[in-house]
Chains A and B, each alone.
Chain A
Amino acid sequence: MKSGFTIRKYQSFFRLRFVMGLQYRAAALAGITTQFAWGFLAIMAFSAFYETDPAAFPMSFQDTVTYIWLQQAFLALFNTWMLENEIFDTISGGNIAYELCRPIRIYNMWIARSLANRFSRAVLRCLPILIVAFLVPAPYRMVLPPDVPTFLLFVLSAVLGTSVATAFCMIVYGLTFFTISPQGVRILFASLVDFLAGGIIPIPFMPDGVRRVMELLPFASMQNAPLRIFTGSLSAQETARMLGLQFFWLIALVLIGSSLCRVAERKACIQGG
């Protein structure tokens, strides 16, 4: 009964943030446009490379195209640079005082909010992109996974990937308690992490040594894993390894983030008045 109530609180946060996210239609439209433009550009660039020598690449053109479309459709789920300004504002502006006056754990509340924010954005943006991605002519068209089990593994991996990305953002929020201004941490993470996650170039395209290290980092457990599982070109062993790493990083990042927030909650110093 008691724990039921507890979950209810965070569900409410999720629901409210989700509904709120859905009302920003203009932002969604702008987002969709950007993602189309980026998706087309990326595919054009890769197609030029593939025309020179298709054998020189670690992923087939088909897989790369699917990777890019899927990435653009579900950008909101996996990226780490989509941090919530509102959370930063509550910390640096001192409104966190109100949140600390509630019978809630700050960490759990932020997780609920962030997940809701990601889902609401993804819901608004993914459909138009997916529809177009399935309608464009053949080499540039996105393809479905080869079988249902692959698709289910993709779903599992996508859930884990979203959670890992969110758990990572929690650490960024937690650090803001100590640095006061979020700008430094944000800029540093935004570009670096996006690169390490395979947001700019898919990880298989990296030089071998670099790739091996990158695949072990938590960032590869965000979008890299689900997007590559989707195409069905990974061996069962590779898939299992990726999912295992995702589980591992999820647990590790949640432990780091929640203890960081616990320390911050206790040491919090509310700014201004």
Chain B
Amino acid sequence: MITMENVSKSYKVAKRNAGFGEAVKSLFHREYETIHALKNVSFTIGDGEMVGYIGPNGAGKSSTIKILSGILTPDGGTVLVDGRVPYKDRIRHVKEIGVVFGQRSQLWWDIPVIDSFELLKDIYSISPQSYKQNLEELTDLLDLKELLRSPTRQLSLGQRMRCELAASLLHDPKILFLDEPTIGLDAVSKLAVREFIRKRNKLHGTTVLLTTHDMQDIEALSDRIILIGKGEILMDGTLDDIKKGNETIDETVAELYRSFDV
């Protein structure tokens, strides 16, 4: 169970105008602007739910995921994930969750994928039996057999993303946060990733919170959508709630963004 209640987070961003003079001026006097990444964000996600978290770039999606994974400390509000306050008890918290950042890699670049996995086994203190079992299952579902022995740097993005998903699930977390897991993937890889997430949720009852800009991801995966814009939750409902007639999902969402002016 994930609850966020009135959570807010702001960043200070140094700003200056273009030009040499301005750059020199900013050496002595910095102007900061406060960006409110999250404003009173509240929602609840039940066990085993799959929720699509959507919104334009800079809406606060990643900030939310980072707060829920214990990386960022919010300025205010309460966050509870299965009874834990993520940022207060980071180490205990992260043992129970899996996170994939689609734009980053958790695999060691120069060594075979399987070595990164073995390291994760020790980091999460996974017992040899469950490691073996999980690895077999993930290898099977994500078709990793041929990939495990290659260095990460030699994998295609699609192959790497499959490995990233496996890496995040080796310790069998109850909750999975996916931050743009399909970004940059080709059609085949996207389908494979979606299929896998769906299966995972079905077989293990894993709670999934997923951010994406790909509306087909949402259509394929989640009944529930939370829409965030300019740091505020604008809508929390199902696809059917927002879909009108025979619009495509992209049109529906674009319409939604426009109507909220985000």
Residues of A2-44 whose CB lies within 8 A of B: 5, 8-9, 11-13, 16, 19-20, 23
Check A102 against B123 for contact (C-beta < 8 Å): yes
Check A97 against B101 for contact (C-beta < 8 Å): yes
Check A103 against B91 for contact (C-beta < 8 Å): yes
Q: Tell me which residues across on chain B come within 8 A of A138, comparing CB atoms.
A: none
CB of B108 within 8 A of chain A? yes
Check A268 against B122 for contact (C-beta < 8 Å): no
A163 to B131, CA, bound (A): 34
Check A98 against B99 for contact (C-beta < 8 Å): yes
Q: How many residues of A contact B (CB 8 A)?
A: 28
CB of A137 within 8 A of chain B? no
Contact bitstring B54-95, A, C-beta under 8 A = 1, else 0: 000000001000100111110000000000000100111011
Q: Tell me which residues across on chain B come within 8 A of A103, comparing CB atoms.
A: 91-92, 94-95, 123-124
Closest chain A residue, CB of each to CB of B62: A273
Check B123 against A268 for contact (C-beta < 8 Å): no
Check B70 against A8 for contact (C-beta < 8 Å): no
CB of B118 within 8 A of chain A? yes
By size class, the interface of chain B is 20 to 34
CB of A156 within 8 A of chain B? no
Given contacts A16-B111, A16-B115, A16-B119, contact A101 B105 (CB under 8 A): no
Contact residue among B72, B97, B122, B125 (Cβ-Cβ distance under 8 Å from A270):
B72
Contact residue among B66, B87, B123 (Cβ-Cβ distance under 8 Å from A104):
B123
A102 to B116, CA, bound (A): 13
Given contacts A95-B105, A273-B62, contact A101 B110 (CB under 8 A): no
CB of A182 within 8 A of chain B? no
Check B70 against A20 for contact (C-beta < 8 Å): no
CB of A94 within 8 A of chain B? yes
Given contacts A97-B101, A98-B106, A270-B72, contact A8 B119 (CB under 8 A): no
A5 to B101, CA, bound (A): 27
Q: Tell me which residues across on chain B come within 8 A of A11, comparing CB atoms.
A: 122
Residue among A16, A19, A98 with max Cβ neighbours from chain B (10 Å): A98
Closest chain B residue, CB of each to CB of A99: B106
Q: Tell me which residues across on chain B come within 8 A of A102, comparing CB atoms.
A: 94, 123-124
Check A20 against B90 for contact (C-beta < 8 Å): no
Check B73 against A266 for contact (C-beta < 8 Å): yes
CB of A210 within 8 A of chain B? no
Check A23 against B110 for contact (C-beta < 8 Å): yes
Q: Tell me which residues across on chain B come within 8 A of A20, comparing CB atoms.
A: 108, 110-111
CB of A155 within 8 A of chain B? no
CB of A135 within 8 A of chain B? no
CB of B103 within 8 A of chain A? yes
Q: How many pairs of residues, A versus B, come closer than 8 Å at their CB atoms? A: 76
A5 to B126, CA, bound (A): 10
Residues of A216-273 whose CB lies within 8 A of B: 265-270, 272-273
Expressed in whole angstroms, the minimum distance between the Cβ of A218 and any Cβ of chain B is 30
Closest chain B residue, CB of each to CB of A5: B125
Closest chain B residue, CB of each to CB of A24: B110
A273 to B102, CA, bound (A): 10
A269 to B35, CA, bound (A): 13
Q: Tell me which residues across on chain A come within 8 A of B73, comparing CB atoms.
A: 266-267
Check A101 against B125 for contact (C-beta < 8 Å): no
CB of A131 within 8 A of chain B? no
CB of A100 within 8 A of chain B? yes
CB of B11 within 8 A of chain A? yes
Check A101 against B99 for contact (C-beta < 8 Å): yes
Check A101 against B71 for contact (C-beta < 8 Å): yes
Check B122 against A100 for contact (C-beta < 8 Å): no
Residues of B14-29 whose CB lies within 8 A of A: none
Given contacts A9-B122, A11-B122, A268-B71, contact A104 B91 (CB under 8 A): yes
Expressed in whole angstroms, the minimum distance between the Cβ of A215 and any Cβ of chain B is 38
Contact bitstring B175-187, A, C-beta under 8 A = 1, else 0: 0000110000000
Q: Tell me which residues across on chain A come within 8 A of B94, comparing CB atoms.
A: 100-103
Expressed in whole angstroms, the minimum distance between the Cβ of A95 and any Cβ of chain B is 5
Closest chain A residue, CB of each to CB of B110: A20
Given contacts A16-B108, A20-B110, contact A100 B71 (CB under 8 A): yes
Q: Tell me which residues across on chain A come within 8 A of B145, comparing CB atoms.
A: none
Contact bitstring A124-141, B, C-beta under 8 A = 1, else 0: 000000000000000000
Would you give 29 A-B contacts (Cβ < 8 Å), ordered by A? A9-B123, A9-B125, A11-B122, A12-B118, A12-B119, A16-B111, A16-B115, A19-B115, A20-B108, A94-B104, A97-B66, A97-B104, A98-B99, A98-B101, A98-B104, A100-B69, A100-B70, A100-B71, A101-B70, A101-B94, A102-B123, A102-B124, A103-B94, A103-B124, A104-B123, A105-B91, A268-B71, A269-B11, A273-B62
